[in-house]
């Protein structure tokens, strides 16, 4: 068994900004992919915004178990059609890991239904992610907290639904807090939001951050067969009712007719 994982990156700042380029010369996606490749149960590849269909044709998504998403400057450039497709796959069972500024990605806002807004400050301040549940699969191998010497501040309120589990909460030097690791279940898919990862600091090079990413991929993987018809609303004919039933009263639909959508 191997968890087929795609690391998606908009891959813009690494090509436009000298600072970011110096930190991630091959792009954030390749740094993360290399970190995931250290786990032999993970089979990893990458995709970027500039590829045809953003590197996410239906055929590829159909063979993806877990998708990681990093975006910041170009959220608006992601096609709605691709977002529809990713959303459907998450509901079918694909895991989704949203990284850092991906909080404002179309796909995360779609899955949450809320604005996913927050407060922010780029001061290179110290961040400390406290483990809330040391027995959670995502926090295995992590001590009490992860220290990030230079980080972008993300502060509450973070406009997301109450999560399934609060896995990390962050402390910031400038005085803010943030729920920096949150899990969700949507349809058959598991979602993990993980806050660290500002592109001007070498955060994805940290071994403990890489451990969390590997853990998160394994956690988000749903081995159940994809739920292909998750969005269908099939009619159950009277003849197939589990209890014997006879039609009563007036009807809108004729027998065998599809429902409205």
- The C-alpha atoms of residue 134 and residue 231 are separated, in whole angstroms, by 36
Q: Which of 156, 150, 69 is nearest to 120 (CA)?
A: 156
Give yes or no for residue 256 binding its own copies (CB under 8 A): no
Half-sphere exposure of 191 (CA within 13 A, CB side): 28
> What part of residues 161-190 is at the interface with its own copies (CB under 8 A)?
161-166, 169-177, 179, 184-188
Which residue among 32, 131, 209, 213 contacts its own copies (CB under 8 A)? 131
Distance CA 174, CA 253 (A): 61
Q: Is 59 among the residues that bind its own copies (CB under 8 A)?
A: no
CA dist., res. 71 & res. 43, Å (int): 22
By CB under 8 A, name the one of 53, 60, 155, 218 that touches its own copies. Answer: 155
Judged by CB under 8 A, does residue 261 bind its own copies? yes
Q: Min. distance of Cβ 48 from its own copies in angstroms? A: 17
* Residue number with CB closer to its own copies (112 or 213): 112
Q: Contact region for its own copies (CB under 8 A) — 38-46, 53-61, 209-217, 252-260?
A: 252-260
Q: Which of 87, 210, 211, 215 binds its own copies (CB under 8 A)?
A: 87
Task: Report the distance separating Cα 147 and Cα 170, nearest Å.
Answer: 10
Closest separation between CB of residue 50 and its own copies, Å?
A: 17
Query: Under rule CB under 8 A, which residues in 27-56 are in contact with its own copies?
Result: none
Half-sphere exposure of 56 (CA within 13 A, CB side): 29
Structural contact between residues 219 and 190, judged by C-beta atoms closer than 8 angstroms: yes
Contact call for residues 8 and 83 (beta carbons, < 8 A): no
- With CB under 8 A as the contact rule, which of the stretches 25-33, 52-60, 86-94, 207-215 interacts with its own copies? 86-94
């Amino acid at each position: 068994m191997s968890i087929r994982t795609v690391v998606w990156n908009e891959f813009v700042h690494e090509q436009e900004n000298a600072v970011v380029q110096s930190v991630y010369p091959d792009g954030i996606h390749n740094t993360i992919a290399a970190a995931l490749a250290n786990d032999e149960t993970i089979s990893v590849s990458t995709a970027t915004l500039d590829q045809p269909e953003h590197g996410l044709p239906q055929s590829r998504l159909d063979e993806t178990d877990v998708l990681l998403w990093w975006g910041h400057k170009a959220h608006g450039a992601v096609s709605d059609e691709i977002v529809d497709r990713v959303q459907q796959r998450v509901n079918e069972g694909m895991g989704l890991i949203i990284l850092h500024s991906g909080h404002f990605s179309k796909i995360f806002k779609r899955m949450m239904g809320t604005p996913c807004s927050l407060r922010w400050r780029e001061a290179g301040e110290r961040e400390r992610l406290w483990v809330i549940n040391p027995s959670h699969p995502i926090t295995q191998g992590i001590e009490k907290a992860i220290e990030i010497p230079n980080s972008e501040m993300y502060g509450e309120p973070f406009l997301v639904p109450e999560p399934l589990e609060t896995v990390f909460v962050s402390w910031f030097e400038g005085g803010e807090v943030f729920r920096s690791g949150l899990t969700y279940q949507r349809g058959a898919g598991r979602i993990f939001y993980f806050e660290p990862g500002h592109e001007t600091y070498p955060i994805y090079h940290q071994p403990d951050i890489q451990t969390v990413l590997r853990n998160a991929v394994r956690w988000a993987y749903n081995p159940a067969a994809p739920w292909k018809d998750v969005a269908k609303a099939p009619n159950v004919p009277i003849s197939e009712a589990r209890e014997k039933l006879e039609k009563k009263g007036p009807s809108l639909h004729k027998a065998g007719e599809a429902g409205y959508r």
